[in-house]
Structure 1
Amino acid sequence: MLATAALPRWMQVSERLIREIGAGRLVDGARLPPERDMASDLGIAVGTLRKALADLAAKGLLERRQGSGNYIRHRTGVASVYSLFRLELVEGGGLPTAELIALERRAKPSDALAFGPSPEGHRIRRLRRLDGIPVALEEIWLDAALAPSLRAEDLSESLYLSYRDLFGLQIARVEDRIGVALVPDWALGAFAPAAGTRVGHIERVAALPDGTGAEYSRTWFDPDRARYVSRMTREPA
């Protein structure tokens, strides 16, 4: 495995709570434990927890009542680091982390959905975990014309953050195609389904605000451990 940068600890806590709220595991109006107890349970400093809670409050997901505590406020359409990451544990939620398997520049695969102007791309292969549980394999292609060079040490666990910080690329829209496929032969032993096993499969094209396809990816996920979840709301007519 190649090393990639983890998200700051406060951001990990914030993202975990956002996903727990979205999955309904933290319901609207629920009171969080006292901050010192919560920080102890998470193994972090109280100051780190308070930074995460301040982020939730700024996003409208937390009401902080002086002398009473912190209360969950459910709302949809919240922007977050993993707002476009659709896999959750079967029981809901789960903090995404990633381990880089390989990174190299290659000709784009002939069977990929169309994306970007270059015939080449940076191929990123990763193992995805949710709350430490291996749930998916990812093969991600970033168009080489949009990112002339890419090094493993420059990547964080959130590639969309890396694209923004390294190249000024803001992913604004994604299109996912869901189906089934066979686990590839480069699968790691940590991923429970063996190579050749039929599992859940996601093909995605991620586009910039002007519509340019910046990234193509395919994800093989273990249906015994994870689900693809898309939550939608509709305004009254």
Structure 2
Amino acid sequence: MDRIRTVAIIAFALSLGSVAAKAGCAPDQHQSFICGDGTAAIRIFPDTISPSRQLAFGWRTSKGLPSGQAEPAADVENVLVKLSDGAVLGRLGGAYWATGEMRANRYDLIAAWSPDSRAVVEVANSRWDTDAFRFYAIGDAGLVSLDLHDLVEPAVRAKAAKKVEKGRVFRVREDLPVKLEADGRLTFAAILFIPKSEEPALGFRVELMIKTVKSAAAARVISVERAKLPN
């Protein structure tokens, strides 16, 4: 799987070669892209590139990107980037970073794109928590953002018995499929668990419907079902 992913990234780098050089987004030595330079430089997460290969998540800091095996020297900001010109379309909710040689410890970030690349769901997890679970729609009028965390967590907790649910942390499983359909249907897995405990996590399969109209988005929970999830 890693070999296939590597080949795809290399092919993408070659296809963007002339455009990237003109726009200031250039392949780096770690199968990714750097957009801009100096303190404005942004490093792209190759695993978040959209199906259209025109958009991706990236990260930056106010002091620029570190070199070699150095860690970021300032707070990390995750952003949505247009790869054709390196423009930042909006700030994301996570603070994940990866240099190709190092990465944020116990942090994870995924981008679940719609097939037409017009929308994406961000899942940003730290060691125990889901720090950001957001929907973004990319349109001519700009970026539309919708927080899904505050919608989903109460719906999941409502499915657990109160005495069983007590003390458990909510988390979207970034290691299981998060799928955004063309019609706005979103499916994913979530858990309620007790950190540093041998108590089994409570698993759930969740389905939402998300709609975007002009400069606004709205979501509703279609179903939340208890499920046995892989460890």
Report the TM-score, using the length of structure 1 for normalisation.
0.28
Q: Which has the higher contact order (CA 8 A, sep 6+)?
A: 1
- Larger relative strand fraction: 2
Report the TM-score, using the length of structure 2 for normalisation.
0.29
